[in-house]
Structure 1
Amino acid sequence: MTKQVLILGATGQIAQHAINALLKNSDAELLLFTRHPQHLKNVDEGREKVIKGDTLKMDELDAAVSQADVVYANLRNPEIKQQAENIVKAMDKYGVKQLVWISSIGIYDEVPGKFGEWNNAELGGGQKDSYLGTYRSAADVISASDLDYTIIRPAWLTNKDEVDYETTERGEAFKGTEVSRKSIGNFVAKIIADPAPYARKDFGVNKPNTDGDKPNWL
């Protein structure tokens, strides 16, 4: 059976790489959910359906999730905890089990050394209402659910045209300082294609051999 993949936040930069990888390497049909459909370009009407909607509006989210076999959430919003709660509720309602969730480096204070100190200073580590605090709260909602979730915590993102990454699991020290958006998009597509090895796991993702006090392009 052809998978129906719901992509929440489909205009995001990582999402665009995931879309390209899914179209190239799978026969999945994609449901592109976004508040701004005018920003979607080169839509393949044979395999992609555009849905205008807002994850903070349950009726719009329910209508989209009801069509899906898999949900991939690529969201950035101060209300991301509420978005997570809404997504879990909708997926439970319609019996959709697989969720791929993009989070952030540093939500578990897992980044060691000088880079960890710099990352916390930039993103507000340890502060409940900071960027990291809100993303941690959302990740806690996901990990407390009964979904077959995969949480991804990317290193600092680049636009390099490369697929080159390694992973660490929750509880392990984060490696590296950066990773390409294309790498994350390809990792998302890999998880969607073969979910079992990644179910109910939480991964840090970085480009190998990029250790340092901060990303080298800053």
Structure 2
Amino acid sequence: MANVLILGANGKIARLAEQQLLDQTDHHLTLFLRKANRLTVTDSSRETVIEGDATDQAALVKALTGIEIVYANLGNQAIEKQAKSVVAAMDQVGVKRLIWISTLGIYDEVPGAFGKWNHEKLDGGYLETYAAAAKVIENSDLAYTIIRPAWLSNKDIVSYETTQRGESFKGTEVSRKSIADFVVKLINQPDKEVRHSVGVNQPNTDGDKPSFY
């Protein structure tokens, strides 16, 4: 049993991961989000809800009490600031294991026509901020895993493959269920993919853009 802190606990991937963790493990989940009333606790013996902002280092430090693994499902224009607060809080408390959701394209690793399309869609504030946040994580001494999903779908499927930083990104899309499954695997095997930045895609989805565009 591990004590897991989930930041951005109302996110779509986070909600899927939370349910899978409740169904398949005995981990205790601390659910951290800005508006706590958006969550409904289904197992009060295993879920603790904390209202707070991930840019608030003091709030993060308090939430990190007794925590062994942090899964950060954050994302907005403040993501670099969030990354700095998370790293600082984890350093202050001495928690090392971090699973961080990012996005594809932060290293200009997406090849061909899809790479060009991805830049056209995400340049101008999104890729830049996510790349800056990833750099904060990578420059830390944390035992991190950065996850770079392909374009996300709500398909009811768990099917994915991975690439590492320095390799060309594969595919164009992946289901949120697949990313949640990968997160759960890392929580269950926290020694895997440590200090790696991992691209995640659904096999056989190569093309100029995702199928739903």
Letter in 2 for 1:44: D
Aligned-residue offset at 1:173: 0.3
- State the SS of the aligned residue for 1:85: helix
Structure 1 residues 9-55: Cα deviation after superposition (integer angstroms, max 9, x where no partner): 00000001111121122111000000111111343111100101111
**Match of 1:162?**
157
**Match of 2:167?**
172
Output aligned runs, 1:1-218, within 5 Å: 2-124=1-123, 130-218=125-213
Compute the RMSD of aligned alpha carbons.
0.9
- State the SS of the aligned residue for 1:33: strand
- State the SS of the aligned residue for 2:192: helix
Letter in 2 for 1:91: M
Q: If the length of structure 1 is used for normalisation, what is the TM-score?
A: 0.95
Q: If the length of structure 2 is used for normalisation, what is the TM-score?
A: 0.97
Moved more, 159-168 or 42-51: 42-51
Letter in 1 for 2:26: D
Letter in 2 for 1:79: A
Using the alignment, how far apart are the partners of 1:81 and 1:72 within structure 2?
Answer: 16
Letter in 2 for 1:184: I
Letter in 1 for 2:113: K
- State the SS of the aligned residue for 1:41: coil
Using the alignment, how far apart are the partners of 1:192 and 1:211 within structure 2?
Answer: 29
Identity %: 56
Structure 1 residues 57-77: Cα deviation after superposition (integer angstroms, max 9, x where no partner): 122111001231110000012
- State the SS of the aligned residue for 1:88: helix
- State the SS of the aligned residue for 1:198: coil
Letter in 1 for 2:143: D
Letter in 1 for 2:122: L
Aligned-residue offset at 1:165: 0.4
Using the alignment, how far apart are the partners of 1:79 and 1:52 within structure 2?
Answer: 18
Structure 2: runs of 5+ lacking an equivalent: none
Using the alignment, how far apart are the partners of 1:184 and 1:22 within structure 2?
Answer: 13
Using the alignment, how far apart are the partners of 1:193 and 1:42 within structure 2?
Answer: 22
Q: 1:94 to 1:70 in 2, by over 3 A?
A: same
Using the alignment, how far apart are the partners of 1:36 and 1:161 within structure 2?
Answer: 27
Give runs of ≥4 in structure 1 deviating > 2 Å.
Answer: none
